Amino acid sequence: MPEFQQIVKSDKIRIGVIGSGALGLYYGALLQRAGHDLHFLLRRDHQAITTAGLTVTSPRGDFRLAAVHGYKTSREIGPVDLVLVGLKTYANPLLVDLVRPLVGPETVLLTLQNGLGNEELLAAAFGSERVVGGVAFLCCNRGEPGTVHHLDQGSVRLAEFCNGLSPRVERLAKLFNQAEIPCEACPDLQRIRWEKLVWNIPFNGLCALTGLATDRQLGCTETLKLIKGMMQEVVAAANRQQLSQPIDGAAFIDHLIGITLKMGAYRPSMMIDRQQNQPLELEAIYAIPLQRATEVAAPMPQVAMLHALLQVTEANALDPPPGQ
Amino acid sequence: MPEFQQIVKSDKIRIGVIGSGALGLYYGALLQRAGHDLHFLLRRDHQAITTAGLTVTSPRGDFRLAAVHGYKTSREIGPVDLVLVGLKTYANPLLVDLVRPLVGPETVLLTLQNGLGNEELLAAAFGSERVVGGVAFLCCNRGEPGTVHHLDQGSVRLAEFCNGLSPRVERLAKLFNQAEIPCEACPDLQRIRWEKLVWNIPFNGLCALTGLATDRQLGCTETLKLIKGMMQEVVAAANRQQLSQPIDGAAFIDHLIGITLKMGAYRPSMMIDRQQNQPLELEAIYAIPLQRATEVAAPMPQVAMLHALLQVTEANALDPPPGQ
């Protein structure tokens, strides 16, 4: 039985990033700047980053990494201490094969992906004892190849998939904080995942469906009411998931509305995906949460309707009829 | 007290058309071709129609009216036997002023507009005894100025606003049938209006919101379920409106799904309005029916959510933010 002590013992660890989108590039860049040994699986940005480095623009100060290890296949990376997974969940059918070459006896797998079902996928393939889950609160977009734009926020909450807190998850949180990623180790993965869904479910879907950013959704009386209604549905379903502590719905919803108001015309990741004709993360953010809610007899009818509308438009966006 | 006998006694009547969109032009053209004395209030098509006439293309045979009486103001038309109202309901704040110059002692007002609230508006201004309501099942679009394209269907159901059947409404139905407009006089205006809403509420809104025609909505399992769910909500609300006879929900819904499947890639009027950056008929098709449903304790939650989504996108379509 491996001990997974490498992360706890080492000051500098070897990290592989699978899914080098905005999130993977941004956190990877901060970890490399802090001295860790980073290895990025790259697709779109491979040439730009391996030849000219990685640039991060941020209100906290721009910086550039001149030398970045970028790869076209996971096999070239080989085993690491930590796999940081930032893959879009619609690519999850590829995830296990992408991660496998990075997994050695002591490798820990951290998924910062959206929604539900990601830890389960990694646990089934590599063993649940390896898996740590994380929730990122990050406003970040990709720019031209080789550049990532950090816009706002950026904190991360981590928890063990199996046991909540642990020395290694607290150590990971410390490494992240040392790399200027505000990070908290938490005792209940389900709770932090569902808390994030309370925001993601209404805003990602409404903004993707309508093509309107968060400020327009909050500025319309009817959609503000709808957002709060969906948030209540998600909180009710969350509070039946045997959380360590229930979510205080009214206070939490007020808090989320408040921070979203401050974000201005924010485009959630799903809205950007739709605008770029990418698939949407419907399985992780809608289908699996709806399934989990149904299993505990806490149906989410407004969420289900939003999911249906995203599905019909998704079918069209990815497979447009002739002449459209 | 007027007798409103003009329509009953005359073979040829004087008809004013207020709202000469696709519906007003098409039915007006058929009535003129049958020998009636038609007078159209025109806006977009005024010059084309008054100089070159009105052309109708139709699977039942194209035809052209060389000489058409077109006007820029209602005052030029003056009193008529029958006012045929085809105005888009979002222009209803103008309706009473547009109709007034056409109203003489014996004038009957027939509104073929969508949704609820139109007869009430005319009744409040001109007396309920004048008002007849009608529901049109018509697939018809405007083409270039002076041309209207009849695509499919075209039947009309008429009923008195106050008393259901009457000699004059049966006479009107006969005149319409003689003009090759399939028409039935019905005893219950509320019933025919709500029956039409069972179709209009799901399809108009879903197609306008998503930009996808009826075939795509029916072809997606999730939206088909949503359509049926909304239809059930509308039937339940309708059946609390003191109808002469309740709507048989299951059979009627199957019937509507069946005829819609046969319509192929049909674009409902609200979808066309959205694509042409016109306002949507949200008040008549959503807000007033939702209000009537609430009054009889038959809430329509899925309809309300669709209405909210149409409202937030409508605010944007008509008042786009800078830079979009």
Question: What ipTM did this prediction achieve?
Answer: 0.84
Closest Cα of chain B to A189: distance in Å? 30
Beta-carbon separation of B225 and A305 below 8 A: no
Q: DSSP string covering B238-267, please?
A: HTTS--SS---HHHHHHHHHHHHHHT-S--
- Give me the active site residues of A, please: 196
CATH code of A120's domain: 3.40.50.720
- Give the domain-ending residue among A187, A216, A249: A187
Contacts of B279 (CB under 8 A, 6+ apart): B88, B90, B273, B314, B318
Question: Is residue A14 located within the same domain as residue A161?
Answer: yes
CB-closest option in B210, B265, B315 to A309: B210
Dihedral sign (CA B108, B111, B116, B120): negative
Question: Is residue A207 located within the same domain as residue A66?
Answer: no
Q: Is residue A156 part of a domain?
A: yes
CB-closest option in A226, A301, A307 to B308: A226
- Burial label for B178, CB within 10 Å (0-12, 13-18, 19+), is middle
On chain B, the residues whose CB falls within 8 A of the CB of A316 are 210-212, 216
Which residues of B fall below an 8 Å CB-CB distance to A? 206, 209-212, 216-217, 219-220, 222-223, 225-226, 265, 301-302, 305-309, 311-313, 315-316, 321
Q: What are phi and psi of B187, to 5 degrees?
A: -85, -10
- Structure pTM? 0.89
Helix orientation angle between A288-295 and A301-318, rounded to the nearest 10 degrees: 150
Mean pLDDT by 10 residues, chain B (324 residues): 72 95 97 98 95 97 97 97 97 97 97 97 97 94 94 94 90 96 97 97 98 96 97 98 95 97 92 94 98 97 98 76 44
pLDDT tens digits along A18-63: 999 999 999 999 999 999 999 999 999 999 999 999 999 999 999 9
Question: Is residue A40 located within the same domain as residue A147?
Answer: yes
Beta-carbon separation of A312 and B209 below 8 A: no
Q: Are β-strands A103-111 and A131-142 bridged in parallel, bridged antiparallel, or unpaired?
A: parallel
Residue B174: domain span:
5-187
Q: What are phi and psi of B221, to 5 degrees?
A: -50, -45
Question: Is residue A250 located within the same domain as residue A128?
Answer: no
CATH code of A230's domain: 1.10.1040.10
CB-closest option in A219, A222, A312 to B216: A312
Instruction: Catalogue the E-assigned strands of A195-238.
Output: none
Distance CA B268, CA B270 (A): 5
* Amino acid type, A258: G
Question: Is residue B229 located within the same domain as residue B199?
Answer: yes
Distance CA B150, CA B156 (A): 14
Which residues of A fall below an 8 Å CB-CB distance to B? 206, 209-212, 216-217, 219-220, 222-223, 225-226, 265, 301-302, 305-309, 311-313, 315-316, 321
Question: Is residue A116 located within the same domain as residue A178?
Answer: yes
Mean local confidence (pLDDT), A128-153? 94
Q: Is residue B324 part of a domain?
A: no
Question: Is residue A164 located within the same domain as residue A231?
Answer: no
- Give the domain-ending residue among B187, B209, B236: B187
> Coil, helix or strand for A40?
strand
- Helix (H) or strand (E) run with residue B303 in it: helix B301-318
Instruction: Show contacts of B162-169: CB within 8 Å, 24+ apart.
Output: B162/B128, B162/B129, B162/B131, B164/B188, B164/B189, B164/B244, B167/B8, B168/B4, B168/B5, B168/B7, B168/B8, B168/B108, B168/B132, B169/B132
Question: Is residue B179 located within the same domain as residue B258?
Answer: no
Q: Is residue B293 part of a domain?
A: yes
pLDDT tens digits along A100-120: 999 999 999 999 999 999 999
Q: Is residue B323 part of a domain?
A: no
CA atoms within 13 A of residue B79's CA, in its CB half-sphere: 7
Closest Cα of chain A to B20: distance in Å? 29
Question: Is residue B167 located within the same domain as residue B301?
Answer: no
Distance CA B192, CA B194 (A): 6
Beta-carbon separation of A222 and B308 below 8 A: yes
- Burial label for B67, CB within 10 Å (0-12, 13-18, 19+), is exposed
Which of the 8 DSSP states describes residue B285?
A: I
- Give the domain-ending residue among A154, A187, A220: A187
Q: DSSP string covering A190-207, please?
A: HHHHHHHHHHHHHHHHHH
On chain A, the residues whose CB falls within 8 A of the CB of B308 are 220, 222-223, 225-226
Q: What is the pLDDT of residue A323?
A: 42
> Coil, helix or strand for B104?
strand
- B21 CA to centre of own chain: 10
Closest Cα of chain B to A153: distance in Å? 25
Q: What is the pLDDT of residue A195?
A: 97
Question: Is residue B25 located within the same domain as residue B63?
Answer: yes
Closest Cα of chain A to B320: distance in Å? 10
How many domains does one find in chain A?
2
Distance CA B31, CA B13 (A): 10
Q: What is the pLDDT of residue A318?
A: 63
Q: Is residue B40 part of a domain?
A: yes
Task: Count how many pairs of residues, chain A against chain B, have C-beta atoms within 8 Å.
Answer: 82
Q: Is residue B277 part of a domain?
A: yes
